[in-house]
Amino acid sequence: MSFLKTWVWAVVIACLLHAPAAADPWTLSNDDGSFTVGGQVPGGVYSDLLAANVLSAGDLYYRYNDLNYRWVSKENWTYSSVLNVDADVLSHARVALVFEGLDTAAEVFINGRGIGKSTNMFARYVFDVKNNLKASSDNSIDIWFESPLEYSKRQYDIQSADYVVPPKCLPAAYQGECHANHIRKMQSAFSWDWGPAFPNSGVWSR
């Protein structure tokens, strides 16, 4: 019984990721702040930038827009919002923030402090946040996503010091990106024979 009680976390703040009833509860920005647009959670940077007309050459699948829009995947992107937390939530023994799908290499900040990192798009991440939240309607949450191309290249550089895991790159005709096998991410995001490369970032599930 007491075991149960300890684990009755505040019916988890994942609900809070449904966020306030504002039109655009999340904003999306890159590291140097040259782009700040409304963001959707769940969603991804390509669809948010398309909706904001930052990607102004039209549909993602039109002609060579996979190449025209490739710069998106070379940026780091941050989804930001606020969490409304009342004192009841914080009275529980444990308060956890649950992510069902972070795509992919990310660090989560609550009120400016890092509370956890993810490197696997397919895994659920549970972060303890009781000590980072205040009973307030404006706890900031920022989810920083490193460029998947940069992350996977770094992992490749580290791992390949021992031996190379093929394929190092895809056939040139795919017009894709290398090192998909060094990131726990949907592999076709770096292109496949049947599809273009759109190495996305974002919260794909909640």
Ligand X SMILES: *[C@@H]1O[C@H](CO)[C@@H](O)[C@H](O)[C@H]1NC(C)=O
- Our CB check for ligand X shows the closer of 9 and 144 to be 144
Total binding residues toward ligand X, as defined by CB under 6 A: 5
**Distance separating alpha carbons of residues 114 and 108, to the nearest angstrom:** 6
Distance in Å, CB of 35 to ligand X, minimum: 11
Q: In what order do the strands lie in the sheet with 136-145?
A: 36-39, 26-30, 77-85, 136-145, 106-110, 113-118
Question: Looking at 48, 75, 103, 177, which residue binds ligand X (CB under 6 A)?
Answer: 75
Q: Indicate whether 157 belongs to the interface with ligand X (CB under 6 A).
A: no
Question: Are the beta carbons of 52 and 37 closer than 8 angstroms?
Answer: yes
**Distance separating alpha carbons of residues 190 and 78, to the nearest angstrom:** 21
- Our CB check for ligand X shows the closer of 104 and 139 to be 104
- Our CB check for ligand X shows the closer of 109 and 174 to be 109
Q: Indicate whether 76 belongs to the interface with ligand X (CB under 6 A).
A: yes
- Our CB check for ligand X shows the closer of 35 and 192 to be 35
Q: Which two tokens stand for residue 34?
A: 């040259």
Q: Indicate whether 146 belongs to the interface with ligand X (CB under 6 A).
A: yes
Q: Indicate whether 29 belongs to the interface with ligand X (CB under 6 A).
A: no
User: Which run of H or of E encompasses 150?
Assistant: helix 148-159
Give the torsion sign (CA, 55, 178, 104, 82): negative
Question: Looking at 31, 128, 157, 193, which residue binds ligand X (CB under 6 A)?
Answer: 31
Give contact residues for ligand X (rule: CB under 6 A): 31, 75-76, 146-147
